[in-house]
Amino acid sequence: MCEIEVEVVHDVLKANEEIALRNNRLLNDFGIIAFNIMGAIGSGKTTLIELAIERLSEKYRIGVIAGDIVADIDADRFKRYDVPVIAMNTGKECHLDAHLIENSLDQLPLDDLDILFIENVGNLICPTDYLLGEFKRVVIVSVSEGDDIVIKHPMIFKTCDLAIVNKVDISEAVGADADKMVSDALRMNPSIKAIKTSKNIGESIDRWIEYIEESTDVHR
Amino acid sequence: MHEYSVATEIYEVILKTAIKNDAKKVTSVDLELGELTHINHDQLIFCLEIMVKGSLMEDAKINLIVKPPKVKCKCGYEGVLDDNRRLLISDFAFSMGCPGCGNPVPSLISGKEINVRNIKIELDDYV
């Protein structure tokens, strides 16, 4: 019997990153900008994507990948807008990974898209580690999660381009300081952009829409 | 949260390498885990231990190599975050500033690994 050492060097997250890079190149070839929309359960991810589709579907061709444990429920909401939607059921998984996105991209009409929204599984932890091939990473938190939610999840804010503090119209009712959440996000990541939104305050949604427009126009 | 699926990938990679090299059994595994991944190290090892039962790597010793966060900064500093900063790990977004110049966002060059570095295997002796 003899014993030998074999070099393996397989990094689980790097392996994901390689597929993510492939997705990113593919999307870039088609001139598509992809937004990875992350946030806790009930933070408002689906609603903010719906509002973006409502406001922008005449200007841009939009597609959506809805990821969830049972993704069909959100996917049905998006289908009402008559945009291409892929329901990516993760089953038991707590996050989307680059491989799942690669499969979804196969099923989307890439020739007919300018913007792809990828709604991640409701979770502020696991999606942080998994790049998907996106160009912009967006994290949404709502005031009802408590105004210490940002400092409790520093890593996701460190890795995102945009932080949205949502449902600010109910801040008082839930005893949360939305401005503190914004300043916490900026302390975590001085290069992040942070905005406050509520679906009931039209002007606040304008900031979200402007962000998408600016990012898309720069990408082109 | 996703320790089980990460463990599955690690297990498959090890098994594939072992079979490719005609191993009779896997005796040890060097596994690098970065301190900044959202992986609970104990849970990951627990999942692996359950998974390997009845396989070539049932008796393998798993050597866990914890990789501290290492940064590289514009100011020229390259190295591990110092202990005072690392002690604040629950608050690490504040504590990840460059130890050299205080720049709050130096590039992270290590600390996010989930890497199977190498394995030791037993082979049949050639007669």
**Residue B59 belongs to a domain with what CATH number?**
3.30.2320.80
Among A61-65, A91-95, A175-179, A201-205, the range scoring the smallest mean pLDDT is A91-95
Can you give the pLDDT at residue A158?
A: 87
Is the CB of B2 less than 8 angstroms away from the CB of A94? Answer: yes
Give the DSSP letter string of A36-94: EEEE-TTSSHHHHHHHHHHHHTTTS-EEEEEEETTTHHHHHHHHTTT--EEEEE-TT-S
Residue B63 lies in a domain: yes
% of chain A exceeding 90 in pLDDT? 83
The pLDDT of residue A152 is 87
At the topology level, CATH places domain A12-219 in: Rossmann fold (3.40.50)
Which pLDDT belongs to residue B127?
Answer: 47
Among A2, A8, A95, select the one facing B123 at the smallest CB separation: A2
The beta-carbon contacts of B2-7 under 8 Å, at least 24 apart in sequence, are: B2/A93, B2/A94, B2/A95, B2/A126, B2/B39, B3/B39, B3/B40, B3/B43, B3/B44, B3/B46, B3/B47, B4/B47, B5/A93, B6/A12, B6/B39, B6/B44, B6/B47, B6/B114, B7/B44, B7/B47, B7/B48, B7/B51
Write down the pLDDT at residue B91.
44
Identity of the residue in A125, A126, A191 whose CB atom sits nearest the CB atom of B105: A191
Interface of B with A (CB under 8 A): 1-2, 5-6, 9-10, 13-14, 17-18, 21, 24, 27, 36-39, 91-94, 96, 104-105, 112-125
pLDDT surpassing 90 at residue A218: yes
| Whether A11 and B123 lie within 8 Å, measured CB to CB | no
Element (H, E) at A208: helix A202-219
From the list A107, A106, A75, A108, the residue with the least C-alpha distance to A90 is: A75
**Rg, chain A, Cα only:** 18
Contact A8 B17 (CB under 8 A): yes
Number of domains comprising chain B: 1
Per-residue tokens: A213 = 């427009």
At A203 the pLDDT is 97
Does B74 fall in a domain? yes
- Considering only CB atoms, A190 lies closest to which of B18, B92, B105, namely B105
More confident site: A45 or B79: A45
Domain membership of residue B127 (yes or no) is no
Average pLDDT, chain A: 95
* Rounded CA separation A45/A5 (Å): 48
Give per-10-residue mean pLDDT for chain B (127 aa). 89 96 96 88 92 94 92 90 53 62 79 94 79
Give the pLDDT confidence score for residue B87 in this predicted structure: 43
What is the predicted pLDDT for the residue at B99?
81
Say how many C-beta atoms besides its own lie within 10 A of residue B91's C-beta.
Answer: 14
Structure-block tokens of residue A125: 């932890």
pLDDT score of A18 more than 60: yes
For residue B101, what are the domain limits?
3-122
Question: A17 pLDDT exceeds 70?
Answer: yes
Is A126–B123 a contact, with Cβ atoms under 8 angstroms apart? no
Round the CA-based radius of gyration of chain B to a whole number and report it.
18
- pLDDT for the residue numbered A69: 85
Is residue B68, in this structure, part of any structural domain at all? Answer: yes
> B75 phi and psi, to 5 degrees?
-75, -10
* Alpha carbons A125 and A14: distance in angstroms, whole number: 18
Q: Is residue B118 part of a domain?
A: yes
pLDDT of residue A112: 98
Name the β-bridge partners of B71: B79, B108
pLDDT at B37: 85
- Give the pLDDT confidence score for residue B108 in this predicted structure: 81
